[in-house]
Structure 1
Amino acid sequence: TPDGAAYIIFTSGSTGTPKGVVIEHRNLVNYIWWAARVYSSGERLAWPLFSSLAFDLTVTTLFTPLITGGRIVVYLGDPGIQSMVVLKVIDDNAVDIMKLTPAHLAMVRDRNLETTRLRKFIVGGEDFKTELARSITKAIPGPVEIYNEYGPTEATVGCMIHRFDIDRDHSASVPIGVPAANAGIYVLDNAHQPTASGIIGEMFIAGDGLARGYFNRPDLTDARFLTVADPQDGFSRLRLYKTGDLARWNSEGRLDFLGRADHQVKVGGARVELGEIEARLLKHPHVQECAVAAIAATVVTPATDGIARLVAYYVSSKPLTVAELRAHLAEQLLESMIPTHYVRLERMPLTSNGKIDRSALPEPTAKNIQPAQDFAAPSTETEKRLAALWCDLLKVESIGRDDNFFGLGVHSLLVMRAVARMRETFGVDVQLRNLFERPTVTGLAEVIDGMHWVAESRAPLVSEGPREEIEF
């Protein structure tokens, strides 16, 4: 019956605690008939089945070809490297359409796609960066359709869609577009009122795709599935799902996805959107995949009082220096958005469902963090004393004469402490602007030595002593 349970998918979401989402037959039928119309368009396509049955992605791949006379090609993954099976699909070249995550698509990009049979890609599960969509479009000769499908498990696989347009889509992420069949999409403020175009709010979903709720979790169901006054008329009651995702309507009436609300972090008092940093990092010609995380600074520099530091994890086609990466990011991002630490990985850790496994990203340590440049030991007496001062402040073993203090995790509180310590140690008043203009041991040592030289040059050559009047 329409209100009978079709399946339960357990999902951890952003909390890490699995919860079962109960999808009813009415929800499934609503989504699959819409997907068949949009993706198959009357064609009998071959689809690859390579992902877990406990994943939304598989729902599309399994049921859509079955109701359209299509064909399913089943691929088995190797134990322990299930995420790599997507490469088998590409190399086999036996399917016409493929649904996959952005992380999987990033792996596909490195394959030779000049003779691929694939002509349609449905991308979902995570924020889909425009640069990735652009590179896939250019890699495949002839027309190719790339769809960004958005939808949490609680809204039955997908409830919004956008077909990527290489000429029109220039924002950091591919828009998630317009509502799917019988779906209501709302961007609301904290008072559950609609936001204006261009204003960020939280996404709420209504319509026939909404799940029954969470299996044996009435408390969680009540917290996430809300019944409120209809935001459009203010009188009738409407059942909404609170997604926890941030979005805004753009000037064309399409929805821009801005990532999870819990992926917005505060660093040094400034609110930072991690997705924006990742989008800019992916524009570097040699960066293939990346993830940015806010890590407690005490992991790397114990003296920073727990203030979070941004760490960029990336996979690249060639070794890159920190200076190159910082310069690339600085072209478009504020200083507060530029990661402090950089960790190069052979490949991104993925969950069994093909999403980046952020919990498996390695903890930044002195061994895996890339140095800003080759280490050069302090040479002059001033440089050695200054390096010892900063080592004590940052609680690190050594600092090179050319290391940038801010790249090592310095924040505003430490800046003030450093100025006071330099006054005590060297007997000169180093100004804040000196530290920002010359943020290295070498640079500050030159400033301090210069202050000493000026002070000495102004001193009298002999002591004046008591005055004695002499008449001539």
Structure 2
Amino acid sequence: MTHVQQARTGRKPVPAPGRPPESSRFERPVSPTEWLYLAGGRLAPPFAVQIVVEGTGTIAPDALRRAVDEASEACPGARLRRRGRIWTDSGRPPAVRTVDRLGAALRAPLAPGDGRSCEVAVRTEGATTTLVFRVHHAVMDARGALAWTADVFRALRGEAPVGAPSPLYDLALLDALGGAHREPAAPRWRSPLAGVRHGRAPRWQRRTLHGTHPGLVAKTAAALADLAPGATRVMVPVDLRRHRPQLRSTANLSLPVFLDGGAGAPWEQWHEQLLRALAERRELAVGEEESAARLPLAPLAALLTAAHTATAAAGRYPCSALVTTLGRIGPDEVSAPGFEARTVYSLPVQAPFVPLSFTAVECAGRTELAMSHPGGPRADTRAAALLDAVCEALSPRARRRPVAAGPRRSVPPLTLTALLRQQVDRAPDAVALTGPDGTVTYGELDRHSDVVAAELRRRGVGRGAVVGLLADRTAKAVAGLWGVLKAGAAYLPLDPAHPSARIAAVLADAGASHCLTDSTYRALPGPDCPAIVLDELPVSGAQPHPGTAGPDDAAYVIYTSGSTGRPKGVVVEHRALVNYTHWATDRYRIDATTRFALFTSLAFDLTGTTLFAPLAAGGSIALVPDEPDHRTLRHLLTRSGANALKLTPAHLDLLTTLGIEPRSFRVLVVGGEQLRGPVAARAQRMFGPDCRIVNEYGPTEATIGCIVHTFDPERDGDLPAVPIGLPVDNTEAYLLDADGRFTGAGEVGEIHLAGAQLARGYLGRPDLDRERFGHLADGTRVYRTGDLAQLTDAGVLRCLGRTDDQLSVRGHRIEPGEVAAALERHPGVRRAVVTARPPRSGAEPVLCAYVTGTAAPDELRTHAARQLPAYLVPAAVHVLDAFPWTVNGKVDVRALPDPFARPRPAADVRAAAAPADDAKDGHRPPESGRDPVAAAVAAIWARVLDDPDLHLAPQDDFHRLGGDSLTLLRMLAAVAADVVGPAAEPAFDARLRDLIRQPTLDHVCAAARQALATRPTEHP
């Protein structure tokens, strides 16, 4: 059997009489293709496939050697040496070399004849480590090299290698697949480097493009054709493993198809050619490899050298370029303990008779495009221009920029404590805080916060620490916040209304060393986090504390809903907050006469505008400690002295129902969810034309607010959603499509934010950091918001929904997975699905849950309320026998039933609304059976819920009808105004807390009757 026959069949030769049987080790023939590669490697060393992995961290040399040994045992193709025309397993693992100069290592020759066909080169510089997996092309193709590389990292992670034990290679597989013979083609295609003198030494150039690029091969071919003289032929290697998906072999299993075209042909034509070639399986063909393999290696190398010299002199090659794509490689696939991969790319083989070679790898949302070409000064310049042209075809430079950017402005490298210190020094006797307990000056706030800082420092709290803040909206809470910052620590705001289990879990997750509390909540932090009671600290007496934090230190950690059921802490630094504060004081025209009202939770990052901006500008904060309802909001608007508000659109909508016309307000900053034009228009009429309404967009991860738009009643009043506008100072917004490519004018893309206000990341969650915080190809750090947007013809951004399941309900970002996980912790629930649905047509969506199991809806809402904040408790819970499924095996959300459907027949509203047991409140229903109080309250429910056909029963719960916390407040305000009246309103207001906890129709009616009974009797 000849060597060619052996290569063709894949069978080993029978040993001659008297010869010992061949070793049981891995062996296979050198195929004709590989014989050519061995000869060509002498002409263009190193003739190697080189997979480069760049990342941060280090890998211990001994651990890497063990991993290479283990992976090479599973992939014996990495240990081959040549014995004549047979590859055999040498049993010796590839070398691992530590190198100082990566360039020299990339050009170092490999010696497959001596068993040095593969190696790993490692270079560490600072925090960056680069690993290069090098394989001589005679023993592996790029897919084989990737298989071996992936197994090395599996071994480093302690996982079992997948292995590639098959000896199958290209021609043997072709026999099995019924391959054909390819007709030889005359070398008539000119090089894109035609007319440029160059040498043989390979050179590499690389570009990184953001996103993935469908049609990359065709677009590359079209770009080259437009720049190359005459006709262009592009060679595209095709992996034969596509015909045997389960095949695990590192051998050369790639054969080419050829695409032909000329300048001006659109890339779609090239793409059609490629698809047709693949459909017709044109790669299953061989050319002149078998004839060449009949020659001994040295004469074949000499023949190739002469032919290549003549070809290069004439500038006419068998093809113009080679273009291949290796697909997608996830960074996790090539990461290991202590080493986190950032990117992967492949340096193409510089082969004889191929003037240019391109290799593309998709990794971490980017496309790494590398090119090899013969070296030489003019060749380098010309090749770089060609590579830039290919990049321009894939990602036009005009799109590689922010779709909108805020002004570049210098911001002093200060901390928040430094901003407060400036105001204290400027006007220590100016009022900083107002509230029910009187006023607090800047000097008093400064001295009280010094006391808190001193106490924290005495307990060992300093830079890098996290301190909980569990308090109502009081002067002591504000002083506590500033005291934490002065101590150099980060504060963790907590909402006392949240379940105690959640408060304890967040403190533990954040690693809080202590928790500042009001005396009312001293027991809530739990035994694992020492409480410091603010009420028990003196208000002065400590030495002034200058503050020890720097601009890059954390200022606060705020927890938001988490998709896995675990809340996530966002770490925001002083630098980001100072940038926002400087911008906000300017844009919102905040000065010493500005007073913001603080009535939202300290644990809501929207509150940051109120906490920081006025104090940085010498203004003041009006503290509103009571929970917002119609009483407190009316007092806020008319008697607090406030002239500025930061609030959600839902709060703004509620304010417009109070029947007040405040005229002293200068600015309303609205954020947290989508602002509807009609709501903003009503508010503009209510507050007057001199009050600016600003729509502020900003996820927690981008520090309070980063894109803004001032509402224009004429332009925006009828819009379903007011535009979010343009970025703030030192902030950029990019819009990227689903493939990560930059969008053009009018196209929809996901908002990616960059600039000075990005958070440090998620506390202790590197997995989430990798998912949400990334870098563009040019190194720009960005945050993926998940929000879709479009740049309008007016040049402003408008939001168009989400790319994921995250919901926004009443200003809160909600991950449905967190709510579902809480429900599934109930023993009577098998599975839970959470979504947002409107309770009726035209209404705002509310949180709804669907479960399978044995638990009752009321039981599950109570269970959720014990674990989750009120805004995460579903308004409706629907128990199903089974979920509807899509053909893809997912829950069909669209097929879920309406949780607000009311099965009972319609009845007269007033009759149905009659109380079930009114005698307990000392009032009997009218003998006619028609109760005017119940009828009036039912009418208000129908109006507030925007359902004129609503039919009610006494036990109906406002929440189950689709009402949420703010529509509930609106309903109670209407009952107080329209049913109870001013004289009896104080008595009704005294029961508000009970009604908020249990808002059933009969309870509201009973409270209204009881209040009416307190009115003074009128005598004629």
Band the TM-score falls in, shorter-chain normalisation = 0.5 to 0.7
1:214 maps to 762
Task: Indicate the SS of the match to 2:804.
Answer: helix
- Fraction of identical pairs, as percent: 41
- The structural deviation recorded for 1:312 is 8.9
CA distance in 1, matches of 2:632, 2:562: 23
1:138 maps to 685
Picking from 248, 252, 262, the partner of 2:790 is: 248
Asked if 1:237 corresponds to 2:853, the answer is no
AA in 2 matched with 1:189: D
Picking from 552, 569, 594, the partner of 1:20 is: 569
AA in 2 matched with 1:186: Y
1:346-385 Cα deviation digits (max 9, x unpaired)? 841369xxxxxxxxxxxxxxxxxxxxxxxxxxxxxxxxxx
- The structural deviation recorded for 1:294 is 7.4
Structure 1 pair 141/242, CA: closer, same or farther in 2 (3 Å)?
Answer: closer
1:29-78 Cα deviation digits (max 9, x unpaired)? 10000000011254621111122222212211011111111111111124
Picking from 599, 620, 629, the partner of 1:50 is: 599
1:167 maps to 714
- The structural deviation recorded for 1:194 is 1.7
1:349 maps to 965
- The structural deviation recorded for 1:182 is 0.5
1:305 maps to 884
Asked if 1:128 corresponds to 2:675, the answer is yes
- The structural deviation recorded for 1:93 is 4.9
Structure 1 pair 88/16, CA: closer, same or farther in 2 (3 Å)?
Answer: farther
Paired residues of 2:724 and 2:799 also in contact (CA < 8 A)? yes
Paired residues of 1:23 and 1:212 also in contact (CA < 8 A)? yes
CA distance in 2, matches of 1:5, 1:20: 12
AA in 2 matched with 1:152: P
- The structural deviation recorded for 1:144 is 2.2
2:552 maps to 3
1:196 maps to 744
2:642 maps to 95
Asked if 1:316 corresponds to 2:932, the answer is no
CA distance in 2, matches of 1:315, 1:18: 36
- The structural deviation recorded for 1:22 is 0.9
1:195-252 Cα deviation digits (max 9, x unpaired)? 22332221110001011111111111121101121xxxxxx21111011111111111
Paired residues of 1:293 and 1:312 also in contact (CA < 8 A)? no
- The structural deviation recorded for 1:14 is 5.8
CA distance in 2, matches of 1:135, 1:312: 31
CA distance in 2, matches of 1:312, 1:129: 25
2:623 maps to 74
- The structural deviation recorded for 1:125 is 0.8
Higher relative contact order structure (alpha carbons within 8 Å, sequence separation ≥ 6):
1
CA distance in 2, matches of 1:293, 1:318: 15
Paired residues of 1:76 and 1:85 also in contact (CA < 8 A)? no
CA distance in 1, matches of 2:565, 2:592: 40
CA distance in 2, matches of 1:29, 1:9: 17
After superposition, residues 51-450 of structure 1 pair within 5 angstroms as 51-78=600-627, 85-169=632-716, 170-229=718-777, 236-262=778-804, 290-291=844-845, 299=878, 305=884, 307=892, 308=894, 309=896, 311=898, 316-317=943-944, 320-321=947-948, 345=961, 347-349=963-965
CA distance in 2, matches of 1:83, 1:151: 28
AA in 2 matched with 1:316: R
Gapped regions of structure 1 (runs ≥ 5): 230-235, 266-273, 283-288, 324-341, 352-472
Paired residues of 2:622 and 2:640 also in contact (CA < 8 A)? no
Q: If the length of structure 2 is used for normalisation, what is the TM-score?
A: 0.28
Asked if 1:39 corresponds to 2:588, the answer is yes
Structure 1 pair 15/150, CA: closer, same or farther in 2 (3 Å)?
Answer: farther
Q: How many residues align?
A: 312
AA in 1 matched with 2:553: G
Task: Indicate the SS of the match to 1:237.
Answer: coil
CA distance in 1, matches of 2:580, 2:722: 22
Task: Indicate the SS of the match to 2:769.
Answer: helix
Task: Indicate the SS of the match to 2:714.
Answer: coil
CA distance in 2, matches of 1:255, 1:185: 9
- The structural deviation recorded for 1:300 is 7.7
Paired residues of 1:123 and 1:148 also in contact (CA < 8 A)? yes
CA distance in 1, matches of 2:631, 2:570: 27
2:69 maps to none
CA distance in 2, matches of 1:251, 1:177: 12
AA in 1 matched with 2:965: P
Paired residues of 1:178 and 1:254 also in contact (CA < 8 A)? yes
CA distance in 1, matches of 2:608, 2:882: 49
CA distance in 2, matches of 1:38, 1:315: 41
Q: If the length of structure 1 is used for normalisation, what is the TM-score?
A: 0.58
Structure 1 pair 5/239, CA: closer, same or farther in 2 (3 Å)?
Answer: same
- The structural deviation recorded for 1:310 is 7.4
CA distance in 2, matches of 1:319, 1:12: 29
Paired residues of 1:161 and 1:180 also in contact (CA < 8 A)? yes
Task: Indicate the SS of the match to 2:559.
Answer: strand
Structure 1 pair 312/125, CA: closer, same or farther in 2 (3 Å)?
Answer: farther
CA distance in 2, matches of 1:347, 1:30: 38
- The structural deviation recorded for 1:318 is 7.3
Paired residues of 2:678 and 2:719 also in contact (CA < 8 A)? no
CA distance in 2, matches of 1:147, 1:218: 35
CA distance in 2, matches of 1:168, 1:28: 32
CA distance in 2, matches of 1:312, 1:195: 39
1:112-147 Cα deviation digits (max 9, x unpaired)? 232443231100011111121111112333422100
Look at both structures and tell me which one has the larger radius of gyration over its CA atoms. 2
CA distance in 1, matches of 2:646, 2:662: 19
Structure 1 pair 223/310, CA: closer, same or farther in 2 (3 Å)?
Answer: same
Paired residues of 1:12 and 1:19 also in contact (CA < 8 A)? yes
Task: Indicate the SS of the match to 2:795.
Answer: coil
Task: Indicate the SS of the match to 1:7.
Answer: strand
AA in 2 matched with 1:143: D
AA in 2 matched with 1:348: D
1:377-403 Cα deviation digits (max 9, x unpaired)? xxxxxxxxxxxxxxxxxxxxxxxxxxx
Paired residues of 2:560 and 2:569 also in contact (CA < 8 A)? yes
Task: Indicate the SS of the match to 1:76.
Answer: coil
